[in-house]
Amino acid sequence: MRRNGSFAVLFHLLFVVFMLAPLAIVCIVAFTPEGYLSLPTRGPSLRWFKAIFDYPEFLRAFYTSLWLAALSSTMAITLAVPAALAIARYRFPGREAITALFMSPLMVPHVVLGIAFLRFFSQIGLSGTFTGLVLSHVIVILPFALRLVLAASYGIDRRIEHAAISLGADTMTVFRRVTLPLILPGVVSGWLLAAINSFDEVTMTVFIASPATTTLPVRMFLYIQDNIDPLIAAVSTCLIVLTAGLLFALDRLYGLDRLFVGSGKG
């Protein structure tokens, strides 16, 4: 295979700058000592990070987001594991349609989902509740969970389970002792990817979150709509650092390229 030429390297460097510049500028501005948006030319200051604690709504929103992500991804993975096993190993009438339905939240614009949930929840009295928020998040993150569990399920040799059966294991024992351990990497990364997607979701959530159940991205979005100041940059910086940590964990656990490539179409 040919090596990259110098032009390619230059192109790549520009690309890296393009990808990282907006994240870098947020992190840099967050350290400004000034009361307005500027680069920290007088030396870095933690002033705006301390200021976050004067705005309890950000902290509250952060906890809401954490809870929401944990709950909804756990529910999503619970639904995804049996569904993935069914899709991966059986050929049954309706298989394609069922798979398409489970994957459909990737194709339906989140604005449309937000509107649909707003309408639906206001009709059945779940409007603005945390329950409604969790249910709606389960829907939008299930495709991510399903895709990873599915990839893991396709990978296992059914004869390993047959071996367990021939040795006397019943259905539950086969699942617990053989199948689940084999798909565990997929389950864990599926859960994590689902949780991250839930944590980041803003477009749909902005429709259905009430002031009491506002998530962090929604709170940030609404804040930016009014004004952009170093405070929001500081909040974003915390978020970026947190995500970077998770990213490394995920890379160690599963390998990022495996996570996003070769697990079917988006």
Partner 1 sequence: MSLAVSERNAPYWLTAPGLLVFLGLVIIPLGMTALLSFYDWGQYKGIVPTFTLKNWVEIATDSYFFEVFLRTFRIAIVVTLATALIGVPEANILNRMSPAWRSICMLVVIGPLLVSVVARTLGWALLLGSTGLVNQGLMALGLIGSPLEFMFTETGVVIALTHVLIPFMILAVWASLQRLDPQIENAAMSLGAGWWTIWRRVILPQIVPGILSGAIIVFALAASAFASPAIIGGRRLKVAATLAYDEFLNTLNWPLGAAVATLLLVALVAIIVGSNRLIERRYAQVFE
Partner 2 sequence: MSHLVLEGLGKSYGAVTAVEGLDLAVERGEFVSLLGPSGCGKTTTLQMIAGFVPVDRGRILLDGGDLAAVAPNRRGLGIVFQSYALFPHMTVAENIAFGLEMRGIARDEREKRTLEAMALVGLKGFADRYPRRMSGGQQQRVALARALVIKPALLLLDEPLSNLDAKLREEMQGELRQIQRTIGTTTILVTHDQHEAMALSDRIVLMNQGRVEQIGAPDAVYGRPSSAFVANFLGKTNMLKGQGTGTGQVSIDGFAVAVEGAGAGPLTLAVRPERLVVMPAGTAGFGGRVKGRVFQGSYWLLSIESAAGPLIVMRGNDGTAVPVEGEAVSLSFATGDAALLKDGAAS
Which of the stretches 12-20, 56-64, 89-97, 172-180 binds partner 2 when contact is defined by CB under 8 A? 172-180
Q: How far apart are CA 98 and CA 101, in angstroms?
A: 5
Nearer to partner 2, 21 or 165 (CB): 165
Q: Which of residues 17-76 bind partner 1 (CB under 8 A)?
A: 18-26, 29, 37
Q: Residue 14: exposed, middle, or buried by beta-carbon count in 10 A (0-12, 13-18, 19+)?
A: exposed
Q: Which of residues 224-243 bind partner 1 (CB under 8 A)?
A: 224-225, 228, 232-233, 236, 239-240, 243
List the one residue from 59, 115, 169, 246 that touches partner 2 (CB under 8 A).
169
Q: Which of residues 186-205 bind partner 1 (CB under 8 A)?
A: 196, 199-200, 202-203
Q: How far apart are CA 115 and CA 120, in angstroms?
A: 8
Minimal CA–CA distance to 68: which of 153, 115, 147, 132? 132
Dihedral angle sign, alpha carbons of residues 146, 148, 152, 154: positive
Q: Residue 55: exposed, middle, or buried by beta-carbon count in 10 A (0-12, 13-18, 19+)?
A: middle
Which of the stretches 82-90, 145-153, 168-176, 207-215 binds partner 2 when contact is defined by CB under 8 A? 168-176
Tell the residue number behind the tokens 């991510």, with chain if given: 144
The binder of 181, among partner 2, partner 1, none, by C-beta within 5 to 8 A per type, is: partner 2
The binder of 186, among partner 1, partner 2, none, by C-beta within 5 to 8 A per type, is: none
Query: Rule CB under 8 A: which residues touch partner 2?
Result: 157, 159-160, 162-170, 173, 177-178, 181-182
